[in-house]
Every structure is written in C-alpha cells, then in structure tokens.
C-alpha cells in the first residue's frame, strides 16, 4: 500500500514538473500576463476619462456660476438705471411744466421761484403766470417773484 501511494505521488510530481516546463503552460502564462496588462491599461484609461469628465463638469459649473452672477449684475444695473430715469423725468416734469399752446412764455424769475420744492407754476387769466405755494392758498405773481430774487 505504501508502495502504491509513493508511485501515485511520484507520477503526480513528474506530471507537474513536465507540465510546468511545457510550451502550453508558457503560452498560458503569457496570455494571462497579456490579459492582465490589457485590463490594467483599460482601467487606467477609464480613470483618465472619468477625471477629464469630472474636470469638465467643474468648469461648466464655474462658468454657469459666473454667468448667473453677471446676469444678476446686469439686472441690478438695468433696474437702477430705469428707476433713475423715472425719477429724473418726474423731477423735470414738476420743475418745468410744458406751456400750453397760445400762452406766453413765463419769465425767468417766475420759473426760478417755481423750481423751489413744493412750488407750482400756473397760468391765471388775470395775473398771468403765478407761482402757487404749497397749500394752494397763497401765490406769487411775476412782480413778486422779481422782487424776491432781486432783494
């Protein structure tokens, strides 16, 4: 029985030694190494592609953030300039009302007094151009306005 066991072990050892040196085992080892190298190259390529994709996504996010900030600045500037134009137009309307057709032009003295805050320039058929004070009860005539400015 020991002899049979030794014989089987020897045959297995011989078979293993012969198969390790055979060209088929070398080809299999080379093929395994080649497959492993290809797999490593593929993994590296995928990692580089993923890194490039991540970098592009970060650049797009930064560009979008910059564009949004620029849009906010443009909107603020447009709103502020529109508000400034509206206020300027209102102030100009209050200070220099348009003279209706057929009426004489007001004198410079009346226009200067009417430019004061709260004062209003009106035309009266008896007095001519007058400056109405806030409260609508008192007014200055053209002669009053000249006297105010000269003295």
What average pLDDT score do residues 3-23 get?
64
What average pLDDT score do residues 2-8 get?
69
H or E element: which one contains 130?
A: strand 128-132
pLDDT digits (tens, 9 = 90+) for 68-107: 999 999 999 999 999 999 998 888 777 655 666 677 888 8
Compute the distance between CA of residue 109 and CA of residue 131 in angstroms, rounded to an integer: 10
pLDDT digits (tens, 9 = 90+) for 16-66: 655 555 666 677 778 888 888 899 899 999 999 999 999 999 999 999 999
Q: What is the largest CA-CA distance in the chain?
A: 150
> In the structure, how many helices (H) and strands (E) does the chain have?
4, 3
What average pLDDT score do residues 116-122 get?
84
The structure tokens listed for 37 are 């190298």
Give pLDDT, residue 138: 85
Give pLDDT, residue 60: 95
- Is residue 13 predicted with pLDDT exceeding 80? no
- First vs last Cα of the chain: how many Å apart? 146
Give pLDDT, residue 21: 54
Give pLDDT, residue 69: 96
Question: Which has more confidence, 134 or 51?
Answer: 51
Give pLDDT, residue 121: 84
Give pLDDT, residue 81: 95
């Amino acid at each position: 029985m020991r002899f049979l066991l030794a014989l089987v072990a020897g045959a297995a050892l011989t078979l293993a030694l012969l198969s390790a040196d055979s060209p088929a085992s070398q080809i299999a080892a080379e093929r395994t190494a080649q497959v492993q190298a290809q797999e490593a190259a593929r993994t590296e390529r995928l990692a580089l592609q993923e890194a490039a994709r991540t970098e592009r996504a970060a650049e797009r996010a930064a560009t979008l953030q910059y564009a949004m900030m620029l849009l906010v600045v443009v909107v603020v500037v447009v709103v502020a300039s529109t508000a400034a134009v509206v206020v300027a137009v209102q102030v100009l309307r209050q200070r220099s009302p348009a003279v209706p057709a057929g009426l004489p032009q007001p004198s410079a003295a009346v226009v200067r007094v009417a430019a004061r805050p709260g004062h209003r320039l009106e035309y009266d058929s008896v007095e001519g151009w007058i400056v109405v004070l806030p409260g609508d009860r008192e007014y200055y005539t053209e002669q009053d306005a000249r006297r105010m400015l000269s003295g």
